[in-house]
Amino acid sequence: MINDIVEWAKEFFVSFGEIGLFIVAFAESSVFPIPPDIILIALALLNPNLSLYYSLIASIGSVLGGIGGYYIGMKGGRRIAKRIFKERLLNKVDEYFNEYGTWTVFIAAFSPIPYKVFTIGAGIARFNLKRFIIASVIGRSARFVAEGIIIMFWGKEILDFALTNFELITITVTAAIIGYIIIKKFRSSK
């Protein structure tokens, strides 16, 4: 069932080219469940010379959608979150975003973690918008440009390898970033 929905979405949005890619990238960053990677990869495989162009469109759409998600969280998210979670937990989330927010947004933007959860969460926590945008631009661009470069230079075979191992690759990068944060925190506390 889910695979049918994903396949339908891919066929539907690919038929609109870069506009379809932008729409999916924008919507996925705040509400839509289909990742833009599916559309980006399909379009890039159709025309590998435009892979970086498609990567740029996905990055821009995703970051703008992330800003939309941020404002959803900022304007109404806390009120809804208070109905679901205790105030103490929300205060912990605020503290967490204040301390690790930039890294959290970057990791969510780069990895298969649902980015939309963190765009809305950043708004709920009233995380610094400028830092949110910078982390989003770097994380989303790194993800989509990496996909575009892989397709442009190595085609479908290496893409299949990267997609098969994407979670392992992103977990490794995430672990390295977390390790860096821990070492930095440990050194600064001395």
Burial-class residue 135 by CB neighbours within 10 Å (0-12, 13-18, 19+).
buried
User: In terms of Cα–Cα distance, which of 61, 46, 52 is closest to 10?
Assistant: 46
> What was the pLDDT predicted at 2?
64
In this prediction, residues 27-48 reach a mean pLDDT of 89
Q: Which residue has the tokens 């893409």?
A: 159
Per the structure, the complete domain to which residue 74 belongs is given by 2-189
3-state SS class at 17: coil
In this prediction, residues 8-31 reach a mean pLDDT of 90
> What was the pLDDT predicted at 163?
63
Instruction: Name the residue with higher pLDDT: 100 or 60.
Output: 60
81-129 pLDDT per residue, tens? 777 777 777 777 777 788 878 888 998 898 877 888 889 889 988 899 9
Instruction: Name the residue with higher pLDDT: 17 or 96.
Output: 17
129-177 pLDDT per residue, tens? 999 999 999 999 999 999 899 888 887 677 667 667 767 767 777 777 7
> What was the pLDDT predicted at 16?
92
Instruction: Name the residue with higher pLDDT: 44 or 158.
Output: 44
> What total of structural domains would you count in the chain?
1
| Cα-based distances in Å from 42 to 54, 92, 124, 151 | 10, 40, 34, 10
For residue 4, pLDDT over 90 is answered with no
- Sign of the CA dihedral with 18 first, then 21, 22, and 23 last: positive
